[in-house]
């Protein structure tokens, strides 16, 4: 990253003006469109042209490069779901804009929270050691959710929260201003992920009617281009969540992302989250579909929303951590009960009464043929631990001790 003072012919007044307008490096200047720089009060058309040209010259951007020498610096970090990583080509990508759209409750905010944590993981654990700028237009950011996800990934919740720079947004021009500000966080605070959750909510509420469409799209265009430039300059990942509008096609209806062509063409990856097609709307199972990506096949996958973020199963696995401020079992929504399940529940009464054993664990135990407390007491802790993922020998011993205490009470 080169400082602005390395651009030939630039003076300190011009540097200050550029910085005030969110352009704080030579790279950012070189990638800015002439029209944006020229409209900065106090710069003017000729100066803008000269400065941009000099910045591009300084960075070697005025020559063609043999393709073999193209710097391929894309980095990936995990989304919390191996399946989602797979369809995204290896995880959430840096340097690009990723739009995730879907109906309400489809998991957009859940993904935003999950990757706010996973981006902070060290490389060997699937992260890129990055901080986060979180632009929250819907007031749905939850510190508690972040703490739980941090514990799932064995990170210190306090450290994780201190690396998420959050901005609660109240209007679309506030949103534009904070997007511009996010650039300086990339430079000074190691931000490698910018989240806008959601992109269109405020714009949609403020620009009502067909007459306001053109100005709305102009504002949107500036945001998307600004973010695109920041993503490239700082090799930063960007998640834009978006809402959908239902479109009727004769007898059929389909969900379309809002924001029109500017969003559709401005984002490198477009992923649709779906809630439909599953037996129960209360299910936490979701579907993700790659709608558009320059180099990815149009694949889809299933994932789950859990109390500890996006995952491949609805059994979130928490490491043994002391001082958990919640009960893992309470994170899961109750399944619809049916006749068959009620019969099993009769058998489960005893197991569920054991301290530390919740509904999910009962299911896991049942799957291993352990239906009653006596079965549990007779089980070999080592064998049971090996067959239930996430249950250490220590945990099984605790279950057995608690079961004994229950029997003796």
Ligand X SMILES: Nc1ncnc2c1ncn2[C@@H]1O[C@H](COP(=O)(O)OP(=O)(O)OP(=O)(O)O)[C@@H](O)[C@H]1O
Query: Residues 305-324: x/- map of binding to ligand X (CB under 6 A)?
Result: xxx-----------------
State yes or no: residue 80 binds ligand X (CB under 6 A).
no
CB of 6 to ligand X, least distance (A): 42
Residue 78 binding Mg ion, by CB under 5 A: no
Under rule CB under 6 A, residue 54 binds ligand X: no
Binding mask 138-177 for Mg ion (x = CB under 5 A): --x-------------------------------------
Candidates 24-32, 34-42, 79-87, 98-106: pick the segment binding ligand X (CB under 6 A).
98-106
Helix (H, G, I), strand (E, B) or coil at 82: helix
Task: Among 105, 187, 204, 404, indicate the residue that binds ligand X (CB under 6 A).
Answer: 105
Measured on CA atoms in the order 181, 186, 187, 190, is the torsion positive or negative? positive
Instruction: Give which of Mg ion, ligand X, none residue 174 binds (C-beta under 5 to 8 Å, depending on kind).
Output: none
DSSP label of 270? E
304 DSSP 8-state letter: E
Question: Is 199 or 331 the residue whose CB approaches ligand X more closely?
Answer: 331
Residue from 43, 84, 110, 132 binding ligand X (CB under 6 A): 110
Minimum CB separation from ligand X for residue 134, in Å?
Answer: 13
109 is a site residue for Mg ion (CB under 5 A): yes
104 near ligand X, rule: CB under 6 A: yes
Q: Which is nearer to Mg ion, 11 or 282 (CB)?
A: 282
Q: What is the DSSP letter of 212?
A: G
Residue with tokens 């910018």: 194
Question: What does the alpha-carbon distance between residue 393 and residue 399 come to, in Å, rounded to a whole number?
Answer: 10
Separation between Cα atoms, residue 1 and residue 65, nearest integer Å? 19
Number of other residues whose CB lies within 10 A of the CB of residue 124? 6
User: Cα 388 to chain center, whole Å?
Assistant: 29
Could you please report the per-residue DSSP string of 5-58? GGSTT--HHHHHHHHHTT--BHHHHHHS-HHHHHTSTTT-HHHHHHHHHHHHHH
Q: Which residues contact 44 (CB under 8 A, 6 or more apart)?
A: 38
Q: Which is nearer to Mg ion, 246 or 408 (CB)?
A: 246
Among 117, 271, 311, 331, binds ligand X (CB under 6 A): 331
Report the candidate in 120, 159, 396, 13 with the shortest Cα–Cα distance to residue 5.
13
DSSP 8-state secondary structure symbol assigned to residue 123:
G
Q: Give the Cα separation of 137 and 114 in Å (integer).
A: 18
Least distance to ligand X from the beta carbon of 305, Å?
Answer: 4
Scanning 126-134, 299-307, 350-358, 379-387 for contacts with ligand X by CB under 6 A, the matching segment is 299-307
349, two tokens: 């009464």
Residues in the chain: 409
The residues of the shown chain that bind ligand X, judged by CB under 6 A, are 102, 104-110, 138, 140, 243, 284, 305-307, 331
Which residues are at the interface with Mg ion (CB under 5 A)? 108-109, 140
């Amino acid at each position: 990253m080169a400082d602005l003072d390395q651009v030939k012919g630039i003076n300190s007044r011009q540097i200050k003006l550029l910085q005030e307008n969110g352009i704080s490096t030579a790279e950012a200047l070189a990638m800015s469109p002439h029209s944006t720089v020229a409209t900065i009060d106090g710069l003017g058309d000729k100066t803008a042209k000269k400065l941009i040209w000099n910045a591009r010259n300084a960075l070697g951007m005025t020559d063609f490069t043999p393709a073999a020498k193209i710097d391929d610096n894309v980095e990936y970090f995990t989304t919390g779901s191996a399946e989602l990583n797979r369809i995204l080509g290896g995880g959430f990508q840096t340097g690009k804009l990723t739009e995730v759209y879907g109906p309400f409750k489809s998991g957009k905010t859940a993904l935003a929270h999950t990757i706010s944590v996973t981006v902070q993981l060290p490389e060997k654990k699937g992260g890129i050691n990055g901080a986060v700028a979180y632009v929250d237009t819907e007031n749905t950011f939850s510190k508690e959710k972040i703490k739980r996800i941090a514990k799932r990934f064995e990170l210190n919740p306090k450290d994780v929260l201190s690396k998420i720079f959050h901005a609660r947004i109240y209007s679309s021009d506030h949103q534009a201003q904070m997007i511009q500000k996010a650039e300086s966080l990339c430079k000074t605070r190691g931000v490698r992920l910018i989240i806008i959750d959601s992109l269109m909510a405020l714009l949609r509420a403020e620009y009502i009617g067909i007459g306001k469409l053109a100005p709305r799209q102009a504002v949107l265009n500036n945001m998307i281009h600004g973010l695109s430039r920041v993503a490239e300059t700082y090799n930063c990942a960007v998640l834009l969540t978006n809402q959908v509008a239902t479109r009727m096609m004769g007898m059929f209806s389909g969900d379309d992302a809002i924001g029109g062509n500017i969003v559709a063409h401005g984002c490198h990856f477009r992923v649709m989250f779906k809630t439909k097609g599953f037996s129960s709307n209360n299910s936490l199972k979701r579907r993700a579909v790659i709608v558009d990506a320059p180099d990815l096949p149009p694949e889809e996958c299933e994932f789950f929303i859990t109390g500890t973020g996006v995952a491949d199963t609805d059994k979130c696995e928490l490491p043994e951590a002391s001082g958990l401020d919640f009960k893992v079992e309470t994170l899961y929504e109750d399944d619809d009960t049916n006749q068959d399940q009620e019969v099993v529940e009769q058998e489960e009464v005893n197991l569920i009464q054991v301290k530390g054993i919740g509904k999910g664990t009962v299911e896991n135990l049942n799957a291993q043929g352990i239906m009653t407390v006596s079965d549990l007491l007779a089980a070999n802790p080592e064998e049971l631990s090996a067959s239930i993922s996430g249950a250490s020998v220590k945990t099984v011993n605790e279950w057995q001790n608690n079961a004994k205490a229950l029997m003796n009470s």
